[in-house]
A and B are shown apart, each in its own frame.
Chain A
Amino acid sequence: DAGVIQSPRHEVTEMGQEVTLRCKPISGHDYLFWYRQTMMRGLELLIYFNNNVPIDDSGMPEDRFSAKMPNASFSTLKIQPSEPRDSAVYFCASSPVPGYGYTFGSGTRLTVV
């Protein structure tokens, strides 16, 4: 089992550019979560999916952020246009069912300059 796979590991982009982060959950895990981690705000839940359906996107900061899960093995988080305050580590995590622990991916460190 390769675990949760995220790409890219690092992304540096200029303000105003579009950024797409990718995640492949563990096979058989029906829940997928996108978190953002910063020193100031800690780990914040952005959005999560159950069986590819978005369940709660109340944590998405604004319309510049969007997330999709077209199938059980792939999800994207897109920021358009990006701003310096979006700089953070973005984690994807998956879980088989509620009541089980999350498995986190290695994260994407995003820097917007």
Chain B
Amino acid sequence: QQPVQSPQAVILREGEDAVINCSSSKALYSVHWYRQKHGEAPVFLMILLKGGEQKGHEKISASFNEKKQQSSLYLTASQLSYSGTYFCGTEIRAGGTSYGKLTFGQGTILTVHP
């Protein structure tokens, strides 16, 4: 039930773009994206709801393909501050239970070099 993220790691130079994917074998209600810097807590970036639109946050945006149960996180013109581990968290609402419960992917390590 854990979503699968790809790639496992990405190395970029400042200004380059990256895409991180998150796939689930289950029908999803929502997908969350978080960024965690070393030694810190995960920080919420955005949420995509079933039937919702693509979201954006400065130069970071995401999409949710309900047919494929996939979400993608787009980082454009990357900055040094974007470095960290990115996690997707997926919510399944089967039978009206488990509202709000997130299962996290294994994470994608993003490193941005000057």
Do the beta carbons of A103 and B98 come within 8 Å of each other?
A: no
Do the beta carbons of B41 and A100 come within 8 Å of each other?
A: no
* A interface majority secondary structure: strand
Which of A12-20, A41-49, A70-78, A79-87 has 4 or more CB atoms under 8 Å from chain B? A41-49
Do the beta carbons of A104 and B101 come within 8 Å of each other?
A: no
Q: How far is the CB of B34 from chain A (nearest CB, A)?
A: 8
Q: Which one of A33, A45, A99 has the greatest number of beta carbons of chain B within 10 Å? A: A99
Residues of A participating in the B interface, judged by any CB pair closer than 8 Å: 31, 33, 35, 42-43, 45, 48, 50, 55-56, 91, 95, 97-107
Do the beta carbons of B103 and A45 come within 8 Å of each other?
A: yes
Do the beta carbons of A45 and B30 come within 8 Å of each other?
A: no
Chain B residues with CB under 8 Å of A48's CB are: 100-101
Interface size on B, residues (CB 8 A): 27
Do the beta carbons of B102 and A56 come within 8 Å of each other?
A: no
A103-B106 in contact given A48-B101, A56-B101, A98-B91 (Cβ < 8 Å): no
A103-B49 in contact given A42-B106, A43-B104, A95-B100 (Cβ < 8 Å): no
Assembly CA distance A91 to B99 (angstroms): 19
Do the beta carbons of B100 and A97 come within 8 Å of each other?
A: yes
